[in-house]
Structures are given as structure tokens and as C-alpha cells.
Amino acid sequence: MLLAAAGIALGVLVGWLAGAGRVRAAGQAAREALQARVAALDTLTGELRTQVSQRTLELGGLREALDAERAQRAGAEARRDAERANLEEQKRLLDEARERLAATFSALSAEALRQSNAEFIALARERIESQVTPLQDALARYEQQLRALEASRQEAYGGLRQQLETLTLHSTELQRETGNLVTALRAPHIRGRWGELTLHRAVELAGMVPYCDFVEQVTVEGESGRLRPDMIVRLPMRREIVVDAKVPLAAYLDAISAPSAEERAAGFARHATQVRQHMTTLAGKAYWEEFGKAAELVVMFIPGEAFVSAAAEVDPALIEDGMTRHVVIATPTTLIALLRAIAYGWRQEELAANAAQISELGKLLYDRLRTLGEHFNEVGRGLLRATSAFNKAVGSMESRVLPAARRFKDLKAGTGDDLPRLDSVDEQPRELTAPEFPQQLSTGDVSPEPPA
């Protein structure tokens, strides 16, 4: 408060002095009043300085008291720590005494118990071990089996999870592809092309390749107009089977995509009606009358098992009525079976043809072998004649020519070397003794000639 008052007084003084500088024209009374105020301010300043000195002395006393209090607190804390350490030491000694007492008591009790019940304890331990050991072994085996089962379960779960993720991905892709396929199959030209490709694939799987056993897209003019079957399969014995592919899918696709059971049933009913209409139309064409070598039936190929089964479920008499009208409704499975049966017939036909050719070839080979045997006999007789001629020449050389030639040596007209010796050929050609070659070599055919 005193400081605030001093500040105010100084402010007033400064303001007054400033005002006095501007109002030097004030009178002597104002100067005197100012001097009185200055004296009062000097008195007030002295009092303030006295109060500040007193407060400084009081502050020093308080600091000394605080230092003394801190020293007392430090001594109290030191005494507390010493007492705490003493208490901990006493507690430790008490615990050690308790442990020694307990150990002593346990030792005394155990010794007394061992001395009094040693046999009983041994027997009890043996029986307990005999009961506990199998249990421990069984528990160990169970624990091992549980760990193995858990590991197998974790592995199977991981594999199953991966399979499910893969299946989900494939299912999504399959749904997308199925949607695209359904959209494409709603176009009539796509359905027709798909039916032809499926028919061609079935024929390839059956081994009836186009260049050998069947022809496609044959057109003939009949009484009812131009007839164009999708395929004609040639049979052994110059017979044929006509195949016509039909793909009635519009009603079937509507049925499988119907939201309710009633609409689905109605769609399948329309599908059965469409299949029956195709069968009736095909029966009316009477392909077997236009193709003279054709069998009295025509195959209506539908490229899907589900299409036929859905129609037959609604119309059970569909297949039987088709057979009555000489129309066989075939799926890829039944067509492949039919074509493989035809291929088997072709193989049997080829085997029979090959057997006939083999028989003719055997006869021809046998006759040629006989001719070759005659040629061998002729060669043998020629060899006999050549051997006989050679032996005659050797005899003539030794009996007529060489004696005359040796006279040149005696007359010293030769080179001095002896003439070489000529040996006759005693070997004869081997005779053919097989019964297929009745004409044997005969040495009688070659009459020996006396040496010339």
C-alpha cells in the first residue's frame, strides 16, 4: 500500500512539475505550496524506507526459522530410516528363527515318522506308484494324441478354408460365365452353331472322324422340299443313319431363371411342348424314304442331358412316341454310345476285309514260294553242271596239258617255277528237303564226261 501511495505521489509530483514548467507565470503562492508538498513527499519516502528495512529484517528471521525447520526435518528422517532398518533387521532375524524352528521340527517329525512307519511308507509309495504310473502314461498318450489331433485339425481347417475361398472364387466366375452363356444361347444362330459343334465333338470322341465315317450338311430334294440333315453316319453293309441336331432352349432358359415354382413349372411345360414339336416335325420329313440306304430311323440330337430329362419329366411318353415315329431322341452320352457301337461294327468290318486280304496274300505267297523253290532247284542243277564241267576241265588239264607243259621245264624253256596244282571240287549243292519242293536236285541230270 505504501509503495502504491509513493507511486501516486511521484506521479502527482511529476505532473505538477510539468505543469509548473508550463505555468511559470504562476505566483509565489503556488511555489510555496509546491515546496510544502515536496517536503511532505520526502517525509513519506523516509517512512517507506523505514518500513522496507523492517520487512527485510522480518524476512531474514523467517529464513533462519525455515532453515532450522529443515534441519530438524532432516534429523527426523534420519532417525526414521534408522528405526526402519532396525525393524527390518529384527524381522529378518525373526524369519530366520522361524525357519530354523520349522526345519528342526520337520527334521524331528520326519525322523520320528521314518523310524516308526518306514515299512508302511515304502509299501504305500509302491502301491501309489503302481497306480499312478499307468495313469501318467495314459495321460501322456492322451496329451500326445490331443496335440496330434489339434495339429491335424488346424491343418485340415487351413486347407478347408483355402478350398472354400477357391470354391467361392470359382463359383463367382462360374456364375458370371453362366450368365454370359445364357445370354448367348438365347440367340437362335448361336444355339444352332453350338448344337453342331457339340455334335461334331461327340462324333470325334466316338472315333467317327469326318473324313472316314460321316459327312455333314448333306442336302437332298424330297417330296416335302429340300432336306438338309446335320450329319449322315455311314454303317457297314452300305447302310446309313441320318442325324439332325435340335436345340430347343428358349423355354428351358425361361424356366430355370423363373422366380417362382409356378412359373418354373410353366416354363418346363413349354419346353416339353417345343421338344415334342421338333420330334413331330422331324418324323414328318421321313428321311429314310429320301435316303435309299438309310435305316428306318432318324436321330434327333439334343446337346444336353438336362434338356431331354426336363422334357421327359413333364412328358413321360416323349421318348416312346419318338421311337414309334422312327425318331430316336439322343443326348451326347447316348449318341457317343451309339457311334461307338457303329465304330465297333466298322472295326469288325475292317477285320473281316483284312482277313480276306490276308487269306489271298497267303495263297499268293505260298505260290511264290513254290516258284522260288523251283528256281533254287534250277540253280542247284546249274551248280552241279558247273562243278562237273570244272572237274572235267581239271582232269583234262592234269592228264593232257600239264604233262606237255612240264616238258618246257625239262628243255630249260620255262621260268624254272613249278606249275600250280589244280584241285577238283568235291562239294555239292545242298538239296531242298521240304515237302513243299518235290523236285529235288539229282546228280543223274548231270552225266559225267570222261576227261578229254
In this prediction, residues 281-304 reach a mean pLDDT of 79
Question: Helices 261-285 & 305-314, crossing angle to 10 degrees?
Answer: 100
Cell of 35: 515546496
Q: How does residue 448 score in pLDDT terms, banded at 50, 70 and 90?
A: very low
Mean pLDDT of the chain: 74
List pLDDT tens digits, range 363-385.
Answer: 888 888 888 878 888 888 888 88
DSSP class per residue in 300-314:
EE-S-HHHHHHHHHH
Q: What per-residue confidence (pLDDT) applies to 316?
A: 92
* Whole-number pLDDT of residue 342: 84
Spatial CA neighbour of 5 closest among 37, 30, 41, 35: 41
With a cut of 80, say whether residue 262 has pLDDT above it.
yes
Q: Residue 452: what pLDDT?
A: 46
End-to-end CA distance of the chain: 187
| Chain segment 187-223, per-residue pLDDT in tens | 666 677 777 788 888 888 877 765 444 555 555 555 5
C-alpha cell at 201: 465333338
- 439 CB neighbour count, 10 Å cutoff: 12
CATH of domain 187-330: 3.40.1350
Q: Which amino acid, residue 425? A: V
pLDDT digits (tens, 9 = 90+) for 54-81: 777 776 667 777 777 777 777 777 777 7
Encode pLDDT of 403-438 as tens digits. Answer: 777 777 777 665 656 666 667 677 777 776 766 665
Q: For the segment 10-54, what is each residue's pLDDT rounded down to a tens digit? A: 554 555 455 545 555 555 776 677 677 767 766 766 676 677 667
Share of the chain above pLDDT 70, in %: 63
* Torsion over CA: 15, 21, 22, 26 (sign): positive
> What pLDDT is stored for residue 363 in this prediction?
85
Residues 248-276 have a mean pLDDT of 86
Q: Which of 242, 329, 225 is nearest to 292 (CA)?
A: 242
* The predicted structure's pLDDT at residue 201: 85
Domain range list for the chain: 187-330, 357-399+422-452
Which residue, 214, 223, 225, is CA-closest to 301?
214
Residue 1: HSE in the Cβ half-sphere, 13 Å Cα cutoff: 0
Q: Determine how β-strand 294-301 pairs with β-strand 239-245.
A: parallel
